[in-house]
Amino acid sequence: MSQKDFEIAVIEGDGIGRDVTQATFTLLDQACDRVGGLKLRQNAIRAGAGYYLETGVDIEPGGEERAGENDAIFLGAIGLPKVRTTSGTEISPHLRLRERFQLYAGVRPVRAYANTPRRLSDPRSANIDLIVLRESTEGLFYSAAVHGRAEVIGDSEVRDIMRITRHTTEKLHDFAFRLARKRRSRGKPGHLTCVDKANVFESQAFFRKIFDERAEGFSDVERGYNYVDAQALDLIRRPWDFDVLVMENMFGDILSDLAGGLVGGMGMAACAEIGDDHALFQPAHGSAPDIMGQDKANPLAAILSGALMLDYLAETHNSRAAQSAALLVDTAVERGFEQNRLRPMEFGGDMGTAAMTAELGLLIDEIASGTETGAQ
């Protein structure tokens, strides 16, 4: 088998970004070696709040351009609590990367694993397995991506813009319907819910109108609707009834964190941000500088984001090897929890970053060779 080399722009960023990024590529490289036929080549780019403190800029010169020259971008974490721009907002070069490369489809998987904390007492909470699909370039975040879009009226008023365009929203909804189809092909319900506030805002009514228009090309996909406030309620009452939820940027930012809290916490919150020609992958948690370098971080959100990256490379480059490596990582995480071999400190367990990484490495080897040891 000929080997395919993928070029990955790697931004470790701030806080635990370095810890979880190194853990992720240790395991991705191991999975790639086990599968054979592919290699990930890391191309480091310096960026983040720490870099801003050193240099006065939030990403190294030419960093944005270099990021776009790679097959994918991986980001560990960005931001430090006390580092702010003159406007008071956080250092956020990743928002510009979303804007620059039009990474409109923010995929946030939410899945309950065995032997992880349950926030809901209903036994059906063990069946939570859904995706929050967040539009990532427009909505209420439109003003945040580029300085100067907000309307600032002296020191008395600020107006941020809720932007919904037909061009981006059509692509988002098409992505959502295709994702629902893909989920169904993998044994999931494949049901798609449009989450909006169409009863109040014209921009949201426009969002739903385009959803209905694009649905005509996907008559095989079951669809439904929910206002965002009702959806927040239903994520507490009956999250197991949902599969793919598509929504505006700010709504997705909030509901994906809410949903993540139902299945353990942000240490499990993987994220893919996908556009037509580029994609960025990152754990959705923060930089947690209070535990940086202390071997306490749960690396699973980053590792699962890495698996999403392999899955993306598999689809965009028709790489069976990348698909097999992604499945190997995902299966290792699933089996690790089932066998109680993954016990992150975040959940009150006894395993830090290094121990979690080492155990997942053992699982990858066992699954690849067919010699799983079973529960411990």
Active site residues: 142, 197, 229, 253, 257
Which of 296, 281, 207, 198 lies closest to 246 in space, CA to CA?
A: 207
| CA–CA distance, 207 with 169 (Å, rounded to integer) | 7
Q: Cβ distance 78 to 93 under 8 Å?
A: yes
Task: Quickly count: other Cβ atoms within 10 Å of residue 44's Cβ.
Answer: 14
3-state secondary structure of 6: strand
**Token couple for 173:** 């909804």
**Token couple for 313:** 């490379």
Residue 197's contacts (CB-CB under 8 Å, 6 or more residues apart) are 204, 227, 228, 229, 251
Which of 336, 329, 302, 256 lies closest to 33 in space, CA to CA?
A: 329
**Token couple for 299:** 């690396």
Half-sphere exposure of 370 (CA within 13 A, CB side): 0
| CA–CA distance, 132 with 315 (Å, rounded to integer) | 20
| CA–CA distance, 239 with 260 (Å, rounded to integer) | 11
